[in-house]
Amino acid sequence: MSLILFACVVRVRDGLPLSASTDFYHSQEFLESRRRLKTLALRLAQHPGRGSARGRDFSIHFSSSGDVACMAICSHRCPAAMAFCFLETVWWEFTASFDATRVGLASRPYAFLEFDSVIQKVKWHFNCVSPAQMKSSLEKVQEELELQPPAVLTLEDMDAANGVMNGHARVYSEPAPNVRMEPVTALGVLSLVLNIMCAALNLVRGVHLAEHSLQVAHEEIGNILAFLIPFVACIFQNKNGLFSMW
């Protein structure tokens, strides 16, 4: 099996795929790696530079600079220096062919699909040429990796991010806070008693006025309402006061 299996070029700010190689692998783990690569492409803005996510049989490597990133799925036998040397070569080839303006204006996936032939050519070179023939390039990249190690991402992190992006946010089981009402103070009790007394007084005055007004013209009904409305308002206020005591 080849060391470098799949490669693609994506736009960093939104993960839009710009070009990709044609792959002929259909194993379950490889397809799972493809899914994780797509998820990671959407998060490249959070991981500038180089990074890797290793699985059992395959590893995902990425390298970004500016708004262009190159990503690859490699065999676990592929040395990191070779993978990043490959990605750097693809990045230089792509940026030499397409300027930043065209990349920024791309609005559909795989807008630069014709670059696939270049990816295949570079991939074939790294898969078929012996490491001894690329010794100087690999040593240079290896020194860079030792001075500035790439970010290491776990596959679990990518799976969790994929769940959030699909709308399946992680749920945390925590007990609901036990909210207890505070007891009514002495001032509150006094206010409640005074409101009850005022309501009773308004009721008595309203009843007496109603008996008197039945013997006079209808315009006196307004006077009745003038006493009954405060009475009703007091009743509602007392009701709220009673609930607050519980």
Domain positions in the chain:
4-164, 186-242
For residue range 52-81, what is the model confidence (pLDDT) as tens digits?
Answer: 998 888 999 999 999 999 999 999 999 999
35: phi then psi, degrees, rounded to nearest 5 = -65, -40
The CATH number of 4-164 is 3.30.450.50
Which of 172 and 153 is assigned the larger pLDDT? 153
Confidence tier at 222 by pLDDT (50, 70, 90):
low
pTM of structure: 0.65
Mean pLDDT of 201-220: 60
pLDDT over 70 at 140, yes or no = yes
Which whole-number Å values give the CA distances from 151 to 4, 39, 52, 55, 93, in the listed order? Answer: 20, 16, 6, 15, 24
